[in-house]
């Protein structure tokens, strides 16, 4: 397999949808999307990637991924639940979840405590630092990320979108 | 853009189906989702995962992932384009795209041909087998996957959803 370095550099620069070619650049017409633009799965994936990129940018000072943020939120609302309950609720596979917890624990954002009821099970709790980081993250997400989405779609459409996504996640 | 009230009401009921605990299993009450159920990114990810799972099941006889299907669709509509154009249009990072092409080429579904205009560049084409597999995949996706989504959401809601997702992918 041969891949030119120039092309690799170009691709790293522009992994996202094509912009108009700059003045003097060779013209390359946009591709025909065909059935792709009608595929719900494809559109969902593209929108989700955009939203995750923006999320990462908005909470960059705190270095939290969307998945880490969702774990912190859930631990805050459900203290004393075990690893399996949290992982299952979020739909995260166990090996991935264990790796994520290792990362959060090494940053002193959460702690695993051996359950007194079941010695094989670990209870998860937020640390004080975890609570503080979560509070800052929530503010950034609300003020920068969700507010812009709300502005883009309008509150009624945003609510309709959330509702349809929940229907798909629950019933499809 | 209008969205049926039924979908909105249904979706508000619950974020995800908790299964009843099996007979004899210790009861475990559902977790509080808190702000998570209001986060668009989280809902998008859950819906997208469900749709991808269903897609994989529907085209299981052909062993195609959603990303591979999108590549075949795009090659069919845009013969003679190079790797960079296809990868950029789909928003797939170059190393991932090269690995995916290796897989498709080893199954004789597409071929890389060195460009006569630019010897560093590879033109991508579907093989006859690639075209046949794509035709079968399109039928399975339309008849099993998209038809069920259409039934779940209704055509008007489905169109509204697609339109909002496109807005996010394009403008957010």
Q: What is the pTM of this model?
A: 0.80
Instruction: Answer yes or no: do B102 and A74 touch at CB < 8 A.
Output: no
Q: What are the chain A neighbours of B39 within 8 Å (beta carbons)?
A: 70, 141, 146
The pLDDT tens digits for B103-113 are: 999 999 999 99
Has residue A26 got a pLDDT over 60?
no
- CB contact under 8 Å between B16 and A169, yes or no, is yes
Q: What is the pLDDT of residue B28?
A: 65
The residue-averaged pLDDT of B6-32 equals 51
Interface with chain A: mutation pick from B88, B106, B117, B166, highest number of A CBs within 10 Å: B88
Tell me the backbone φ, ψ of residue B47, rounded to 5 degrees.
-65, -40
Task: Tell me if A40 and B51 make a contact (CB, 8 A cut-off).
Answer: yes
Instruction: Judge: B172–A77 Cβ closer than 8 Å, yes or no.
Output: no
Higher pLDDT, A65 or B122: A65
The β-bridge relationship of strands A110-114 and A122-126 is antiparallel
Q: Is A26's Cβ below 8 Å from some Cβ in B?
A: no
Q: Please tell me the predicted confidence (pLDDT) of residue B3.
A: 45
Tell me phi and psi for residue B30, to 5 degrees: -60, 150
What is the per-residue pLDDT for A56?
96
The pLDDT value recorded for residue A137 is: 97
Among A6, A8, A89, the residue with its CB nearest the CB of B31 is A89
Range scoring the smallest mean pLDDT among A26-40, B55-69, B126-140: A26-40
Residue A31: its chain B contacts at CB < 8 A? 74, 77-78, 81, 85-86, 89
Q: Tell me whether A73 touches chain B (CB under 8 Å).
A: yes
In this prediction, residue A28 carries a pLDDT of 66
Q: Which residues of chain A form beta strands (DSSP E)?
A: 110-114, 122-126
Q: Give the closest-approach CA distance of A108 to chain B in angstroms.
A: 22
Chain B residues in contact with A77 (beta carbon < 8 A) = 31-34
Q: Spell out the alpha helix ranges (H) of B24-93.
A: 40-58, 66-77, 83-90
Digit-coded pLDDT (tens) for A145-160 = 999 999 999 999 999 9
Res A66 pLDDT > 80: yes
Q: Name the burial class of residue A73, with classes exposed (0-12), middle (13-18) and buried (19+) by CB atoms within 10 angstroms of its CB.
A: buried
User: d(Cα A13, Cα B84) in Å, to the nearest integer?
Assistant: 11
């Amino acid at each position: 397999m041969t891949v030119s370095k120039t092309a690799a550099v170009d691709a790293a620069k522009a992994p996202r949808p094509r912009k108009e070619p700059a003045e003097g650049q060779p013209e390359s017409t946009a591709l025909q999307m065909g059935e792709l633009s009608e595929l719900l799965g494809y559109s969902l994936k593209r929108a989700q990637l955009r939203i995750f990129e923006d999320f990462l940018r908005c909470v960059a000072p705190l270095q939290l991924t969307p998945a880490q943020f969702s774990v912190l939120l859930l631990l805050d609302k459900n203290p004393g639940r075990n690893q399996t309950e949290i992982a299952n609720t979020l739909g995260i596979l166990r090996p991935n979840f264990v790796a994520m917890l290792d990362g959060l624990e090494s940053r002193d954002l959460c702690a695993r405590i051996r359950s007194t009821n079941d010695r094989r099970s670990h209870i998860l709790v937020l640390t004080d630092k975890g609570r503080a980081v979560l509070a800052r993250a929530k503010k950034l997400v609300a003020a920068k990320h969700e507010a812009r989405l709300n502005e883009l779609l309008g509150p009624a459409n945003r609510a309709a979108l959330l509702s349809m996504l929940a229907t798909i996640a629950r019933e499809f």
